[in-house]
Amino acid sequence: MLIEDNLIVEFKKVSKIYPPNIPALKDISFVITRGEFVFLTGPSGAGKTTLLKLLFRAETPSDGEIWVDGIEVSSISRGQLPFLRRKIGVVFQDFKLLQDRSVLENVGLSLEIMGYGKKQIEKRVKQILNAVGLKGKENVCVAQLSGGEQQRVSIARAVINRPSILLADEPTGNLDKQRTKEVIELLEELNAMGTTIILATHDESLFKNTHRRVLFLKNGRMEA
Partner 1 sequence: MLFPIMIKRAIRDFRANLGIQLGTCFVIALSVLVVSFFSTLYVNFLNITEQLGTKLGIVVYIKSGNEDQVPQIYQKLSKLDGVLSVKYISPKDALKKLKRYFKDEPQILEGIKPSIFPPSFEVQVKQALLNPEKLAQIAKEISSWPLVEKVQYGRGWVQSLSGISKIVKLLLMISAIIVLLAMAFVVANTIKLTLYSRKNEIEILRLVGATSGFIRIPFMLETLAQSLIGCLIAFSIVYLGSFYFRNLISHNVILASIGFIFLPIKYTLIITSITIFVCLITTLFSINRALNL
Binding site residues, partner 1, CB under 8 A:
56, 78-79, 82-86, 90, 96-98, 109-110, 112-115, 117, 157
- HEC string of the chain equals CCCCCCEEEEEEEEEEEECCCEEEEEEEEEEEECCCEEEEECCCCCCHHHHHHHHCCCCCCCEEEEEECCEEHHHCCCCCHHHHHCCEEEEECCCCCCCCCEHHHHHHHHHHCCCCCHHHHHHHHHHHHHHCCCCCCCCCEHHHCCHHHHHHHHHHHHHCCCCCEEEEECCCCCCCHHHHHHHHHHHHHHHHCCCEEEEEECCHHHCCCCCCEEEEEECCEEEC
Minimum gap (Å) between residue 81 Cβ and partner 1: 8
Select 161 or 219, whichever has its Cβ closest to partner 1: 161
Select 60 or 210, whichever has its Cβ closest to partner 1: 60
Select 70 or 82, whichever has its Cβ closest to partner 1: 82
Minimum gap (Å) between residue 51 Cβ and partner 1: 17
Minimum gap (Å) between residue 82 Cβ and partner 1: 4
Select 47 or 163, whichever has its Cβ closest to partner 1: 163
Minimum gap (Å) between residue 135 Cβ and partner 1: 23
Select 41 or 196, whichever has its Cβ closest to partner 1: 196
Minimum gap (Å) between residue 77 Cβ and partner 1: 11
Report phi then psi at 150, rounded to 5: -65, -40
- Classify the C-alpha dihedral 133-48-222-180 as positive or negative: negative
34 close to 28: Cβ distance less than 8 angstroms = no
Select 78 or 177, whichever has its Cβ closest to partner 1: 78
Minimum gap (Å) between residue 130 Cβ and partner 1: 21
